[in-house]
């Protein structure tokens, strides 16, 4: 378990730079590409409330290069809504999306987005159980019309629960990642890497992929619960993170 905690910490730190996503409708007359990446994570039914919260979002500005037409979009959201009288009504959500749609004979574009949310000082007294429910999804899609086009998408979701006196080893952790690349066979969807105190509802959890060919996809949806008993009084910190990135391009003669 100690090894898993350290590995989870490294993986979480490695995920931080990622971000992207995209969606597009086909424009007629030229080569067309699509790359999309979306991530969402919701927390609810808290047993305790945080005393302070912190949120951060980072959608990048659209980029358009070369002579083709490229549409990019980045969206990020992070909200922690605390009900001071009823922790079970407290909710937290992070979401991010990146999309790139290209149409033309010579173009490239990229989009990135990320969201981060932290809840500080969940005060759990001795003999209490800290718990919360969560639902989430990770959705990636790419499409190309010819071998002269490229499209790729990456998505990541993660959360960690720490004792505020020990930020090196998470008490609970969840990490899921996925990536699509039209140029090679490096597509992947890695099911969640989690600690043992996280459980899932099997009938509300699914992972599907379609790799190869001109259209590819990876989809994950999940519902679960975090539950931990504390023999001693403990202050907890909850961190959530999502990131998405997508890019698309073409280098081919005009049609």
User: Residue 253: its pLDDT value, please?
Assistant: 56
The 10s digit of each residue's pLDDT in 167-177 is: 999 999 999 99
User: Residue 112: its pLDDT value, please?
Assistant: 92
The whole-angstrom separation of Cα 37 and Cα 73 is 11
129 DSSP β-pair partners:
229
Range of the domain at 181: 2-251
SS3 129: strand
Cβ distance 134 to 221 under 8 Å?
no
Give the highest mean pLDDT range of 17-21, 56-60, 245-249: 245-249
Q: What percent of the chain has pLDDT over 70?
A: 83
The secondary structure element, H or E, covering residue 5 is helix 2-15
The mean pLDDT value of the chain amounts to: 85
Cβ distance 233 to 125 under 8 Å?
yes
Residue 167 falls in which region: left (phi positive, over 0), alpha (psi -120 to 50) or beta: alpha
Place of tokens 């509802």: 201
The 10s digit of each residue's pLDDT in 143-193 is: 998 888 899 999 999 999 999 999 999 999 999 999 999 988 889 999 899
How many structural domains are present in the chain?
1
| 3-class secondary structure per residue, 201-246 | CHHHCEEEEECCCCEEEEEEEEEEEEEEEECCCEEEEEEEEEEEEE
């Amino acid at each position: 378990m100690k090894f898993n905690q350290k590995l989870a910490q490294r993986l979480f730190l490695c995920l931080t730079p990622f971000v992207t996503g995209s969606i597009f409708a086909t424009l007629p007359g030229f080569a067309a590409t699509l790359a999309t990446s979306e991530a969402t994570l919701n927390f609810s039914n808290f047993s305790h409330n945080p005393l302070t919260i912190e949120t951060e979002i980072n959608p990048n500005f659209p980029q358009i290069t070369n002579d083709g037409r490229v549409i990019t979009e980045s969206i990020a959201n992070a909200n922690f809504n605390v009900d001071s009288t009823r922790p079970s009504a407290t909710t937290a959500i992070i979401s991010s999306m990146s999309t790139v749609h290209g149409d033309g004979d010579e173009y490239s574009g990229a989009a990135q987005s990320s969201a981060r949310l932290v809840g500080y000082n969940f005060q759990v007294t001795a003999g209490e159980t800290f718990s919360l429910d969560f639902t989430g999804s990770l959705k990636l899609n790419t499409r190309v019309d010819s071998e002269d086009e490229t499209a790729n998408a990456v998505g990541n979701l993660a959360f960690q629960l720490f004792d505020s006196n020990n930020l090196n080893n998470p008490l609970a952790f969840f990490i899921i990642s996925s990536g699509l690349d039209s140029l090679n066979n490096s597509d992947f969807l890695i099911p969640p890497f989690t600690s043992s105190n996280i459980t899932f509802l099997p009938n509300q959890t699914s992972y599907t992929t379609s790799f190869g060919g001109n259209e590819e996809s990876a989809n994950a949806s999940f519902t679960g619960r975090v539950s931990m008993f504390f023999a001693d009084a403990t202050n907890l910190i909850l961190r959530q993170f999502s990131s998405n990135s997508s890019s698309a391009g073409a280098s081919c003669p005009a049609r």
